[in-house]
Amino acid sequence: MAFIEAKEFKMRALLSNTQEGYKVPIYQRPYAWDKEQWTELFDDLKGLDPEDIHFLGSFVVVPEGAHKKDINYFELVDGQQRLTTLLIWLSAIRDLAHENGEESFVKHINNNFLFAEKFREGEEFKIPKIRLGNLDNDAFLRVLENKKKDYPHLIFDCYNFFKEKTDLNNWDWELLLDNISIVHINAFDYFNAFRLFETLNDRGLALSAADLIKNFILMKISKNDEGTNLDEIFNEVITEWNEMYEKIRDLEPVTFIKRYMQSQYKGKISESKLYEELKKKLETKNEKEILNFVIDLNSKASFYQKINNASFQNTKINKVLRKLHLIQVAPSYTLLLKVFPMFEEGKLSVHEIIEIMEMIETFHIRWGVCGKSNSRLDQIYNEMCVGLSKITKKEEYIDYIRDSFSKEIFKSTDDETFKRYFTSKKFNASDKRTKYIIWKLSDPTGETVFDINEIQTEHIMPKSLSKDWIAYLKRNSSRSEEEIRSIHEDKLDLIGNLTILKGEWNQRLSNRLFNNKIKDYSRSEFSQNKEIAKYSQWKFNQIDERTKLLAEKALKNWAWDQSYSSKFDLTDYWIASIKYDMAENVITNLLKKENKYALGSRTGGNVSVKPQDRICFYVSKIGIIADAEVNSFVKKDKIKGFESFINVFEIKNLNIFEKPIKLDEDIRKKLDAFETSSLKNWGWFVTNCHTITEHDFKILTT
């Protein structure tokens, strides 16, 4: 028997076969096309010449059973949106004809294209050409039968769109039937149908990772396996999957599945690789194990929904979650997906869950202020979840999480680093996290309610300097207007020049001089504005003074117990890339002569090396040529001959290798960095300057 049977049909031939009908499988999502797709289809067909053909793609179907004399139903695995839309359009055309009194036209469309025929005991019944899912079928029947459309539904919107756009006097409606071509693919069974989905995706048709995962799972449980009730398992999987999807459909399903996987299995997973990684995990599982996987996925979707909506039964937990939403800690949801089920099982208390979320807040505030890479967060949280899975004593869970955060904080965002970045960072005034930071630094009482929608960030010294402001800043100063504007640009978005106000205040204050703002500041419900009102003037020195003051407060607000630092080796390991044509100059005049290394302005600002870190140097076309110990933080500097490389740090104990270490495939196989990455595509590994694991550093330097 053939794997599939494919035939090309015009829509007239497909729809006029009154002995065939279609059903949308229960696992399919509801009708989802909107005005964008309707308009595209309308424009494509409205512009057709009589000799043109519009190819509408393939309809993948699975027959419901053996062929019979009655209506033969096909389950429409792929093609629901297109076929449904065309039938709605034909219904609109029919109703326009009815309004024009053309009843023979109406009968022609009903009898030949919208309904299939069923005979029972000598009586003819009209059956809709397609039966949609439970959420759509009532609305669709009302359209097909021209009944009252008295509640909001996307299908009614579609009907109204085509009815308003179609002009039967100036367009040949039969182009819909005679000039649209489709390929009808009979896959014979679900296993073939889902395998076909993979093939279509490999050839470039866009399917989301969630669709592919669902199809793979259904394909796995569609295989024949003696002794297993596959129909029962198949239906259970569909039910569990649909329940899961409804919970997270508005919460980026692919992201949820990625975070679920990272909370359960070792290894960071990108969304682009999610399908392949999950496929590897499930490839050897039997049907019952796959069902258990989907059941657990559905269970975790309930937690994910509550995390996103802050809708747990405990109000204290929800209050802390709402704060986390403001500071944008979405990568931490991987960890929360791990710990909230543990809380439900009694392995963690309310106090401990809240403590974990407060640790997340402190960690993310420090991480964000210090400009650390968000891509690293997935790995950090994955490692935490994997580690938690290995713990057997419940009293050790909270200590393990605290230790994991401590290690990352002391390595990358310790107090000195946090304070240094906090005082120099240019904050995004409109960012929710910025508003939250300023609010938290205002020492809010329990009575002060923080509603992000009511709050605006105010630049005390305004973004645009008026002539009056320029004159004010020149007073008792020898600076020129050009110098003032340059300094203003540097200090405008420092934390010391920002505050928060209720929205209507911000517009009133606008660009007024500082002395004209003091009265409004003094009446603010936020205590820090009352402190600002005590200043006699507001110039650059005051911005610097307040920035330092707020940095000290930030260290207290997002403090981390320094006693933990002695528990960890805080050394980071780095690899830096040197271009082949610059190698001799860099080695001789920078590494050897200056005991320094320098980075360009684009990448250097994100490199957070610190004393005692280790670094190795890669030269393109050659390999790893040296290693050294880092002896300072990065700072702005200019070195003769390397003026364009302004981010400089010192090194010591430079070790130039007699024989460079080539990054051949044998070496790459041993590296942690390539555990989930292609050995052939490795250019990313030797780009710019970035951290690597201690294990990889030792391989590359010994």
Q: Is residue 352 part of a domain?
A: yes
Section 343-371 average pLDDT: 95
Pairwise CA distance, residues 146 & 148, whole Å = 7
Token pair listed for 532: 């600002």
- How many residues are recorded in the chain? 702
The three-state secondary structure class of 356 is: helix
Q: Beta strand pairing status for 455-459 and 596-599?
A: unpaired
Q: Is residue 260 part of a domain?
A: yes
Residues sharing a CB contact under 8 Å with residue 146, sequence separation 6 or more, in sequence order = 91, 94, 95, 98
Domain match, 314 and 408 both: yes
Domain match, 354 and 482 both: no
> pLDDT tens digit string along 197-255?
666 554 434 457 788 788 788 878 876 554 455 678 888 998 899 899 989 988 999 99
Pairwise CA distance, residues 317 & 360, whole Å = 13
3-state DSSP helix/strand/coil % of the chain, to nearest 5: 55, 15, 30
Quickly list DSSP for 603-646: HHTT----TT-EEEEEETTTEEEEEEEE-S--EE---TT-TT--
Show which of 412, 445, 479 is a domain's final residue.
Answer: 412
Domain match, 467 and 522 both: yes
Q: Is residue 661 part of a domain?
A: yes
Comparing 117-131, 157-171, 551-565, 617-631, the range with the smallest average pLDDT is 117-131
**In this predicted structure, what is the pLDDT of residue 496?**
96
Q: Is residue 91 part of a domain?
A: yes
CB 418 within 8 A of CB 555: yes
Of all residues in the chain, the percent with pLDDT exceeding 90 is 57
**In this predicted structure, what is the pLDDT of residue 15?**
94
Q: Is residue 197 part of a domain?
A: no
Pairwise CA distance, residues 221 & 227, whole Å = 13
Residue located via tokens 């609109």: 92
Q: What is the pTM of this model?
A: 0.71
**In this predicted structure, what is the pLDDT of residue 261?**
96
CB 56 within 8 A of CB 82: yes
Instruction: Indicate if the pLDDT at residue 504 is higher than 90.
Output: no
**In this predicted structure, what is the pLDDT of residue 202?**
47
Closest to 647 in 3D by CA, of 371, 441, 414? 371
Domain match, 549 and 588 both: no
Section 676-681 average pLDDT: 70
Show which of 390, 412, 434 is a domain's final residue.
Answer: 412
Domain match, 408 and 426 both: no
Q: Is residue 140 part of a domain?
A: yes
Closest to 417 in 3D by CA, of 607, 603, 233? 607
Domain match, 312 and 353 both: yes
Domain match, 309 and 375 both: yes
Instruction: Indicate if the pLDDT at residue 25 is higher than 90.
Output: no
Q: Which domain holds residue 637?
A: 571-701
Of all residues in the chain, the percent with pLDDT exceeding 70 is 92
CB 199 within 8 A of CB 212: no
Section 68-81 average pLDDT: 86
How far is residue 639 CA from its own chain's centroid? Answer: 41
Q: Is residue 449 part of a domain?
A: yes
Domain match, 92 and 233 both: no
CB 509 within 8 A of CB 458: yes
Section 462-473 average pLDDT: 92
Q: Is residue 622 part of a domain?
A: yes
**In this predicted structure, what is the pLDDT of residue 686?**
86
Where on the phi/psi map is residue 251: left (φ > 0), alpha (ψ -120 to 50), or beta? alpha
**In this predicted structure, what is the pLDDT of residue 632?**
92
Pairwise CA distance, residues 62 & 78, whole Å = 10
Domain match, 547 and 585 both: no
On the CB side of 147, how many CA atoms lie within 13 Å of its CA? 8
Instruction: Indicate if the pLDDT at residue 170 is higher than 90.
Output: no
**In this predicted structure, what is the pLDDT of residue 227?**
45
**In this predicted structure, what is the pLDDT of residue 57?**
87
CB 92 within 8 A of CB 163: yes
- Which three-class secondary structure string do you get for 178-235? HCEEEEEEECCCHHHHHHHHHHHHHCCCCCCHHHHHHHHHHHHCCCCCCCCCHHHHHH
Between 3 and 417, name the one with better pLDDT: 417
Domain match, 236 and 290 both: yes
Section 305-322 average pLDDT: 95
- CATH (domain of 695): 3.10.590.10
Token pair listed for 412: 């990358």
How many structural domains compose the chain? 4
Pairwise CA distance, residues 574 & 412, whole Å = 13
Show which of 380, 412, 444 is a domain's final residue.
Answer: 412
Section 559-584 average pLDDT: 84
Section 347-356 average pLDDT: 95
Token pair listed for 1: 């028997």
Quickly list DSSP for 251-280: S-HHHHHHHHHHHHSSS---GGGHHHHHHH
Q: Report the Cα–Cα distance between both ends of the chain, in Å, rounded.
A: 60
Domain match, 493 and 550 both: yes
| 627, β-bridge pairs | 616, 655
> pLDDT tens digit string along 445-464?
654 456 777 888 999 999 99
Amino acid letter, 233: I
Domain match, 641 and 669 both: yes
> pLDDT tens digit string along 189-199?
877 776 776 66
